[in-house]
Amino acid sequence: MIPLYFRESLPDGFFESEPHTAFEIFEGPTLIHLRGESDTTVFISTLLHGNEHTGYEALKSILQNQNRKKSLLILIGNVEAARFGLRQLESQHDYNRVWSGGDLPEQIWATQVLEKVKTFSPQYAIDIHNNSGRNPHYACINKLDSQFFALAEQFSPLTVFFSKPDSALSVAMKSICPSLTIECGLSNSHPGLGATTNFLNNCINIKSFQAAQSRYEYYQVVARIFIDPKYSFDFGNEDADISLNPEIDEFNFKELPTNTLLGRINKNGAELLVEDREHNHLESEFFDYSNQEIRTKKKMVPSMLTTNKTVIEQDCLGYIMDRVWHQT
């Protein structure tokens, strides 16, 4: 079992701590309730992935100011993985893939967290993450609703809608209050940290966010890109079964034209796997493998493409998106 620790104050040494030393002041995953001038509460989650540090550093910055208009409910997540600078330990399940119920220790823990969070009736829920590849900072929503768009546009002009994986925290929170996953670029990048700090300050000090428009442009995730574990892969290494462009994360949030070269196939049968939200395989729809090259078969906008091999093995290579307009 994974215990859920609860506090009503910050532990000693919080402001001097770093993500990799958080395990020294937190016994494990911890909910912290900090009272503000009102009972209106904002829920903020960080370190669900232990190698994503921007949320922790942004919290240290905003919590220096004791005069908060709203109360805070803070979830400090996987401090054991953070200790080693890892997304998750080999013995663990992904802390942001356990929020749809189940019997795993992490799923039971997540259910307990949700039950506790609900008792505070939060106004907003913000789950803070970083990318392992180069991306602009952007907001992810899981419900096409004006309140969700209004919250998202406070963080970034780029909004992404996704419904899968439905085991992500922000998906679980969408039935409780407007919720976001915010993706803050590379861990500890200054632009991402600044944007996150400003956004959190606004969330806890501005009464509410109103929709500035009724028609929104957003990106919708249509598929995930995986690599079959039976094939080796690398970046710029022709000895691997799949050799990918070492600068592939430069393509994130850019519209790639048809025939864009992504890499090479060095073993017969090797290819990138592509699944839509219903787990249908769409490899032949998106990629062409003529002449042992991996090229785009149609225009596409990728996101979260990464060169981090561990992240690719634990999660995926990246996502494929469509640009969409929505009338609220």
Range of the domain at 252: 222-327
The CATH number linked to 35 is 3.40.630.10
Is the distance from CB of 1 to CB of 105 less than 8 angstroms? yes
Within this chain, do residues 135 and 254 fall inside the same structural domain, yes or no? Answer: no
- Same domain assignment for residues 129 and 172: yes
Stretches where the chain sits below pLDDT 70 are 328
Which pLDDT belongs to residue 67? 87
Domain end, chosen from 192, 212, 232, is at 212
Helices (H), 69-207: 79-83, 105-118, 146-152, 169-173, 190-205
- Indicate if 205 and 251 belong to the same structural domain: no
Residue at 240 is within a domain: yes
Considering the domain architecture, whether residues 167 and 63 belong to the same structural domain is answered as yes
Supply φ then ψ for residue 273, to 5 degrees: -95, 140
Looking at the structure, tell me whether residues 30 and 132 fall in a common domain: yes
162, 189, 212 - which closes a domain: 212
Distance separating alpha carbons of residues 10 and 306, to the nearest angstrom: 34
Domain contains 257: yes
pLDDT of residue 86: 95
Are 49 and 104 contained in the same domain? yes
Q: Are strands 179-186 and 138-141 parallel, antiparallel or unpaired?
A: antiparallel
Q: Name the region of 279 (left: φ>0; alpha: ψ -120 to 50; beta: rest).
A: left
| pTM score | 0.91
Domain final residue pick, 212, 243, 264: 212
Same domain, 76 and 179: yes
pLDDT digits (tens, 9 = 90+) for 225-248: 999 999 999 999 999 999 999 999
Residue 243 within any structural domain of the chain: yes
Q: Are 323 and 219 in contact (CB under 8 A)?
A: yes
Same domain, 123 and 252: no
Q: According to DSSP H, which parts of 73-145 are helical? A: 79-83, 105-118
Q: Could you give the number of structural domains in the chain? A: 2
Cα(94)–Cα(168) distance, rounded to whole angstroms?
10
Same domain, 244 and 109: no
For residue 322, being part of any structural domain is answered with yes
> In this structure, are 191 and 251 located in the same domain?
no
217 belongs to a structural domain: no
So what's the pLDDT on residue 16?
A: 97
SS3 call for 316: coil
Does residue 235 share a domain with residue 168?
no
Pair (66, 199) in one structural domain: yes
Per the DSSP assignment, residues forming a β-bridge with 303 are: 319
